Structure 1
């Protein structure tokens, strides 16, 4: 079966069905409405639904899209989706890759290995076409629905207008059966880079637009290429100013060609012209079939603020980066991870809605970090002046022979999870000589336990983690009941959570980020840190 047929089978995952809201005499109010059925929107609905929060997702389509689009999913993303219950199927389907090679012209400059240290459930990266990633999320939604999770997916429901009031939002929706209206206490915009919702509200991005054009070609081919990331600067096969090769599941390969600024997009997408570039790269003896092609330009921009009263934006609707470094979908899933527990606490009355301002603060911080790294990658890959081009090539020449120059080569700094350094929800570090990687604001690194992994026991609620220090089984603070977890101070746990300290106690947020840490349990300090972590300080 050709791959495009398999994508087609995955397309209509939630075909249009008439809802009871369309027959109501007055607009029905929902706690949360999500706009957009891509990976960020479905993940948002899943996160909230698994908390027992009723959520309606509106999508103007009826399921996942076609074409590979996002393909590199990072370890942190897999850890988040594991908590949702679908990380393992993604890993099973995906292509694990650890080795990358950088070429200049016809020479290999150097290679790098992303194989993470031992003691983690998930690898550094997998390659998995976005339609499959989305399908696994929707499959998990279906399982959750069968188990009673209050999630509703509405296909062919297009939002045409929004009216944002002080305490709710009114949405006008079009369907095959005509228009109807609903209300939402909270509206989450996950409707992508072009975001009709953002435009309806008269909002825009700030940042840089890059005019360079890149051709994507998904192909199936009979070739003995290894499962590695290959990147060429000024490739000898002359198919573009740069080129990138990735392996995907089902024998599909993703190839990107940098085309330049002034191109005829229609002409470049003609099959004979795409094949001309592929033939020059692959040689005459490689048999291949075209599956999907597209041309993209990109931006490194974000909204000024991600929260607009009762409307909150996430994913590409809130921020955009270049594809180099796999920072788009991965950062969007981190948005969901950050937003879900905070909105849950607001809706159940444990926290005030001001906690949602911390979503805006923390995820703008993460977006700025991604934009900085993405812009630097793009400037290195696509030098904008003669002198910057000379400098770039001098770095490549040095890197071929001198290891000190290799960190200066930037073919896309790969996505890493954000550390919320110095932001308001964190309690100042109180663990002398503790590892920097687990400081307040950092995501918890995984580590093996006698049974399973540490992250299996963290996330979804607040946890008090004792490392070589006993902590209570439960502790109540500010309307929350914290779970206590005591683990031995040995092996990878010691290296990652103790460092030179004899023992440690960590307060872990529901998104597995460190909120505070101390050398011992202190019944006074813990409630203060909880208050700060939920915005009551």
Structure 2
């Protein structure tokens, strides 16, 4: 069978290629560039714990060694600390901050060692043709040729050629925010802590430095962002250096400390959302499908979630034939999540950037502003949280056997320790991305007994038989506990780590129905459609 064609060799495209290879699906990655990225220390990405785990599964690299995990987060207003978050064992998971070219290099290294991924550099797509059995893309350049694939995914950025060739509209708002950006090596008094400083007391007259963000990177490097006033005023090297010196002196309560300027730039945030994410066998993902980034939110983090969502669905279609409802669910799920975040940002913009609003009406509302901004930077709340798939077309119907746990249906599961079928202890996230559903039995006490003593006891034989009979490949795992789940409950988890449902006990019929819904209901419905088409053709 033909490989999946991926257009674009940025982090999203490379992640998708590796995610498909994990399911034994071959890919061709068409890279418009020369196959390497220019180092840009000021171009960075903040990854949440689940996307970090995704990338580490695919690359085999310890990304913590390539980036910096924040020790904490501080929100300041003038000279006052408004809020502080400490990351670690007793607090929330620390975000990982690293330069984007470092992440891309790690992905390229993994791709180079993966025989199922073929890279084609200096290959710019200029035509796409598709028919019922597949899709063909033409590239121009030194090796210009036609490429044949089962499906094609455009991960080719904001100016996506794939999106334009499919005539997909990309409406939205331009220049929602502008930031002057600098990467510099310097010693600051809040070592390891990311910082959001609003209304700093040393700022010059006017709104030029009304909000500053500092985020640590490895080796004593920091990325600093200054929110710029609306408009297109030119940020000259002289004004940027003056801004750097003023900020550093303000934070150190004295003269400007010694620093090494590594990189600078101006980051303009646009908010756009493609009307469609699928046209037949052609899909778009990442910046080709959406742009967001106001208030510290991370567009690349969402692009990686696009790849994770689409990969297992393409894997099912590649191995088992057309699964149209399953492939359609990619747009339904991912576009809804991004749309919700963009709506939240649009609602917050007048309040947070209007220069008055709530603060003039409600005493102390400035603290609420800082909490909203922190949510964006830390991946919380309507501005920052990635969202779940509770309204997914793949969600199973109601069942009397369903029980609530701390993870809502459609949300990412907690990363608990589980026992695999071979008796080894692994993390739940380690079993994701293989194209199989995960069925997790909650059985307290199993962690202290050898597997041979309980694998044939209690409900295990009945559950194992139910898992074997499911309409989609599934793996049975056992956990001693799960947040909010009582003993002997059974969790059904998608290959991308989102909870489908939880049942109170072993319910084979309910488990089968939920697994079938998760696959788009295709096991029975598409067979009936094929028979109907065959009868129609016979006439």
Q: TM-score range by the shorter chain?
A: 0.7 to 0.9
**Take 2:521 and 2:160, find their aligned partners in 1: how far apart are those partners?**
33
Which one of 92, 104, 109 corresponds to residue 82 of structure 2?
109
- Please say if residues 300 and 375 of structure 1, whose CA atoms lie closer than 8 Å, have aligned partners that are also in contact: no
- Listed one character per residue, the Cα deviations across residues 367-398 of structure 1 (whole Å, up to 9, x for unaligned) are 12332344455444422x644564599422xx
Q: Are 1:237 and 2:202 matched, yes or no?
A: yes
Which one of 252, 272, 281 corresponds to residue 221 of structure 2?
252
- Listed one character per residue, the Cα deviations across residues 490-528 of structure 1 (whole Å, up to 9, x for unaligned) are xxx3xx151xx3431111111121122211112222221
**Take 1:280 and 1:65, find their aligned partners in 2: how far apart are those partners?**
29
Deviation, structure 1 residue 323: 4.8
* 1:518 corresponding residue in structure 2: 503
Q: CA 1:85–1:73 in structure 2 vs 1: closer, same or farther (change >3 Å)?
A: same
- Listed one character per residue, the Cα deviations across residues 453-473 of structure 1 (whole Å, up to 9, x for unaligned) are 332344421121111263317
**Take 2:361 and 2:80, find their aligned partners in 1: how far apart are those partners?**
18
**Take 1:426 and 1:202, find their aligned partners in 2: how far apart are those partners?**
31
Classify the secondary structure of the residue corresponding to 2:44. Answer: coil
Which one of 36, 57, 76 corresponds to residue 50 of structure 2?
76
**Take 1:414 and 1:376, find their aligned partners in 2: how far apart are those partners?**
19
- Listed one character per residue, the Cα deviations across residues 469-496 of structure 1 (whole Å, up to 9, x for unaligned) are 633177334653322122224xxx3xx1
Classify the secondary structure of the residue corresponding to 2:81. Answer: strand
Q: Are 1:51 and 2:20 matched, yes or no?
A: no
Deviation, structure 1 residue 409: 5.8
**Take 1:44 and 1:31, find their aligned partners in 2: how far apart are those partners?**
13
- Listed one character per residue, the Cα deviations across residues 21-77 of structure 1 (whole Å, up to 9, x for unaligned) are xxxxxxxx9431101111000001111122221100011112234324232111110
Structure 2 residue runs without a partner (length 5+): 250-254, 380-384, 420-424, 444-458, 523-539
- Please say if residues 89 and 136 of structure 1, whose CA atoms lie closer than 8 Å, have aligned partners that are also in contact: no
Which one of 93, 101, 106 corresponds to residue 136 of structure 1?
106
- Please say if residues 43 and 137 of structure 1, whose CA atoms lie closer than 8 Å, have aligned partners that are also in contact: yes
Which one of 155, 163, 178 corresponds to residue 190 of structure 1?
155
Q: Are 1:99 and 2:91 matched, yes or no?
A: no
Q: Are 1:482 and 2:474 matched, yes or no?
A: yes
Deviation, structure 1 residue 104: 1.8
Deviation, structure 1 residue 133: 1.3
Deviation, structure 1 residue 219: 1.1
- Please say if residues 71 and 193 of structure 2, whose CA atoms lie closer than 8 Å, have aligned partners that are also in contact: yes
Classify the secondary structure of the residue corresponding to 1:475. Answer: helix
Structure 1 residue runs without a partner (length 5+): 1-28
Classify the secondary structure of the residue corresponding to 2:106. Answer: helix
**Take 2:304 and 2:290, find their aligned partners in 1: how far apart are those partners?**
12
* 1:66 corresponding residue in structure 2: 39
**Take 1:194 and 1:83, find their aligned partners in 2: how far apart are those partners?**
30
Which one of 514, 523, 528 corresponds to residue 529 of structure 1?
514
Q: CA 1:164–1:360 in structure 2 vs 1: closer, same or farther (change >3 Å)?
A: same
Q: CA 1:332–1:222 in structure 2 vs 1: closer, same or farther (change >3 Å)?
A: same
**Take 1:64 and 1:392, find their aligned partners in 2: how far apart are those partners?**
48
* 1:181 corresponding residue in structure 2: 146
- Please say if residues 45 and 151 of structure 1, whose CA atoms lie closer than 8 Å, have aligned partners that are also in contact: yes
TM-score, normalization by structure 1 = 0.82
Q: Are 1:156 and 2:156 matched, yes or no?
A: no
Deviates more, 1:164-173 or 1:192-201: 164-173
Q: CA 1:248–1:447 in structure 2 vs 1: closer, same or farther (change >3 Å)?
A: same
* 1:7 corresponding residue in structure 2: none
Q: Are 1:263 and 2:228 matched, yes or no?
A: no
Deviation, structure 1 residue 102: 1.3
Q: Are 1:372 and 2:372 matched, yes or no?
A: no
Q: Are 1:338 and 2:309 matched, yes or no?
A: yes
Deviation, structure 1 residue 108: 2.4
* 1:436 corresponding residue in structure 2: 406
**Take 1:153 and 1:35, find their aligned partners in 2: how far apart are those partners?**
10
- Listed one character per residue, the Cα deviations across residues 96-135 of structure 1 (whole Å, up to 9, x for unaligned) are 11421112223322223354657x9xx3311111111111
**Take 1:432 and 1:455, find their aligned partners in 2: how far apart are those partners?**
23
Aligned residues: 482
* 1:303 corresponding residue in structure 2: 274
**Take 2:229 and 2:270, find their aligned partners in 1: how far apart are those partners?**
15
Classify the secondary structure of the residue corresponding to 2:464. Answer: coil
**Take 1:392 and 1:63, find their aligned partners in 2: how far apart are those partners?**
52
**Take 2:520 and 2:182, find their aligned partners in 1: how far apart are those partners?**
47
**Take 1:317 and 1:156, find their aligned partners in 2: how far apart are those partners?**
19
Classify the secondary structure of the residue corresponding to 2:475. Answer: strand
Q: CA 1:216–1:434 in structure 2 vs 1: closer, same or farther (change >3 Å)?
A: same
